[in-house]
Homo-oligomer: A and B are copies of this chain.
Amino acid sequence: MSGTTEPFVPTARTKVKRAHERGHYDRETVYAILDAGLMCHVGYVIDGQPYVTPTAYWREGDRVYWHGSSASKMLRHVKQGPPVCFTVALMDGLVLARSGFHTSVNYRSVMAMGQAEMIEDPADKLAKLEAMLERIVPGRWPELRAPTAQEVKATTVVSLKLEEVVAKVRSGGPIDDDEDMDLDVWAGVVPTPTTIGAALDDPALKAGVAQPANLAKIRIG
């Protein structure tokens, strides 16, 4: 874990110009958003065409990680170190204003730019995969059948150091024009949280195996 607490430095690419009050560069805000999400969107370019691939990710210290099959087109490309854009966006609610123009969405997002690096060492890779599962269900990793060397080999893990980063946050109620405040129009926020539903047993679950208590530790959103 890297311990720096210095804020990120805005660059020409990450400086929020419009609605600049929504831009945040402090690590506390950035890390809190990254730790709340589970799915990122990775942007990369092949032959001039941008691709945006959704995938699961996790954060450790000043790095984010994602993984997948070593045969993945996205991973085979990004592990070579081209410029990538890593974006996480969490939708928090619909902001229903008194006019269409001021209707909005509450969200928390992080955009990070840089070059991904591949985790080569098998032991290091295994530790990262454990960290990923720990992020999904804390405490589940030791309960599972241990990974085989072949499984580790078939998995590519990449990481992106968080250096050129911006968070954007919109929260709160509608901001209407003063002259609209007396209209007979309802205004407010409709929350749209990601929720954790009741776990569904695998139909082929071995008889007598109960749902583990650690399922209650899952946090997303």
Residues of A within 8 A of B (CB): 13, 17-18, 38-39, 41-45, 48-54, 56, 69, 71-73, 83-87, 89, 91, 93-94, 96-101, 103, 105, 107, 109, 111, 113, 129-130, 133, 136-137, 140-141, 143-148, 151, 154-155, 173-174, 180-206, 209-212, 215, 218, 220-221
Contact = CB atoms under 8 A, between A and B. Distances in A.
A114 to B, nearest CB: 10
18 contacts: A38-B91, A39-B107, A41-B54, A43-B52, A50-B85, A52-B52, A93-B197, A94-B136, A99-B144, A103-B144, A143-B186, A173-B200, A184-B206, A186-B211, A186-B212, A187-B201, A188-B202, A193-B194
A85 to B, nearest CB: 5
- Top-6 shortest CB links A-B: A191-B197, A54-B89, A43-B50, A43-B52, A52-B87, A41-B41
Nearest to A19: B69
A54 B53 CA distance: 13
Contacts of A143: 185-186
A181 to B, nearest CB: 6
A195 B203 CA distance: 26
Contacts of A72: 18
A95 to B, nearest CB: 9
A74 to B, nearest CB: 11
Contacts of A199: 96, 188-190
Contacts of A210: 186
A32 to B, nearest CB: 17
Contact of A209 (B17, B186, B215): B186
A96 B140 contact: yes
